[in-house]
Amino acid sequence: MADTMRIAIVQARPVYYDLAATLEKTLALIAEAAGQGAQLAAFPETFLPGYPVWLDYALDYARWDHPPTKKVYARLAENSPAIDGAALQRLRDAAREHRIVLVLGINERVPRGRGNRSLYNSLVIIDADGAIANHHRKLRPTYTEQLLWAQGDGAGLGAVDTAAGRVGGLICWEHWMPHARQALHLSNEALHIALWPAVKESHQIASRHYAFEGRCFVLAVGGILRAADFPAELTLPPPLRAQPDALLLNGGSAVIAPDGEYLLAPSYGEETILYAELELGRILEEQMALDVTGHYARDDVFRFEVNRQRG
């Protein structure tokens, strides 16, 4: 692994619940990041085809027996990619073409006839040769998210070797699951991708804590959504109806060093690609004081085990 690495965080709006259009936008953003020399590009939580922000802004719609909600769910499901489907294949081809590692948040659809048909909130790492290096499903959907997504499993709970080094990731509130964090720490991460809908203050704290605890670089990745993106099947709360440009998700993406300090401060309120140069030697420097899998561990006191079967 090289001494330095150039990374890109893509803080962007999907073409909401339109997989084909969002895929084209994603491919263009990948080409742009690669053209700027990025060796890895990370996208927000469920960027393809968009985070279900309507669950937070219209709680009356978070009901199983609400016809408009059913229509939105059906549209989401129809526009969600499968791991072995055509959309992911085009992303794999793009990674190989541009020689770039991709970390993507997706609403994952399991095709009919393959047992479990649930949707999953998933994180996919595609290596620079186009191979899927890791596929992690969010362990526990949070609050109203349980209306949409099934529980994930431990099959992808760890960092993997890529052309950009040891890369791992967790999704949103998994960063407050101590066992999930420890599973990633034990896998010897150099670069951790923290996927969020948007990186608000509490999410910044969790991301910085993760970097400090794990002695790794953290890319906190947030998305952008505007009121105009709200599903047409549902009605926005009154204050937002006349404000199509109002932000429902405001980004907040940042890069955090292994001491928990910002290498790149949070960026709010705009679509952008953030770039940073990571000096990987800082990981070992910071491990001198704290290494939760080394000299600051007590394996004689604690036992840790992960069930890595695919659910």
Query: 135 — phi, psi (to 5°)?
Result: -140, 105
Which range is least confidently modeled, 29-38, 43-52, 194-203, 298-307? 298-307
Q: Which residues contact 48 (CB under 8 A, 6 or more apart)?
A: 14, 19, 22, 23, 26, 80, 81, 87, 104, 105, 106, 107
Q: Mean pLDDT score of the chain, rounded to an integer?
A: 94
The identity of residue 227, as a single letter, is A
CA-CA-CA-CA dihedral for 258, 263, 268, 270, to nearest 10? -120
* Beta strand ranges found along the chain (DSSP E): 4-11, 40-42, 101-109, 119-126, 132-137, 160-162, 165-171, 191-195, 217-221, 224-226, 247-256, 262-268, 272-279
Q: Please indicate, yes or no, if residue 296 is contained in any of the structural domains.
A: no
What CATH number does residue 280 fall under? Answer: 3.60.110.10
Q: Which residues contact 242 (CB under 8 A, 6 or more apart)?
A: none
Q: Please give the residue range of the domain that contains residue 21.
A: 4-287
Number of domains in the chain: 1
Contact 215, 288 (CB under 8 A): no
Asked whether residue 286 carries a pLDDT value surpassing 90, the answer given is: yes
Q: Please indicate, yes or no, if residue 303 is contained in any of the structural domains.
A: no
Distance from the Cα of residue 31 to its chain's centroid = 19
- Of 152, 83, 73, 69, the residue nearest 111 (C-alpha): 83
Q: Please indicate, yes or no, if residue 306 is contained in any of the structural domains.
A: no
Q: Please indicate, yes or no, if residue 295 is contained in any of the structural domains.
A: no
Asked whether residue 115 carries a pLDDT value surpassing 60, the answer given is: no
Residue 113 has a CB neighbour count (10 Å cut-off) of 6
Q: Give the model's confidence band at 66: pLDDT under 50 very low, under 70 low, under 90 confident, else very high.
A: confident
Question: What SS3 state is found at 56?
Answer: helix
Percent of the chain with pLDDT over 90: 87
pLDDT on residue 311 = 79
Catalytic residues: 45, 138, 172
Q: Please indicate, yes or no, if residue 77 is contained in any of the structural domains.
A: yes
Asked whether residue 241 carries a pLDDT value surpassing 90, the answer given is: no
Q: Please indicate, yes or no, if residue 212 is contained in any of the structural domains.
A: yes
Predicted TM-score (pTM) of the model is: 0.96
Asked whether residue 57 carries a pLDDT value surpassing 80, the answer given is: no
Q: Please indicate, yes or no, if residue 270 is contained in any of the structural domains.
A: yes
pLDDT on residue 216 = 98
Distance from the Cα of residue 111 to its chain's centroid = 22
280 burial class (0-12, 13-18, 19+ CB within 10 angstroms)? Answer: middle
Read off the tokens for 245. Answer: 């440009």
Q: Please indicate, yes or no, if residue 304 is contained in any of the structural domains.
A: no
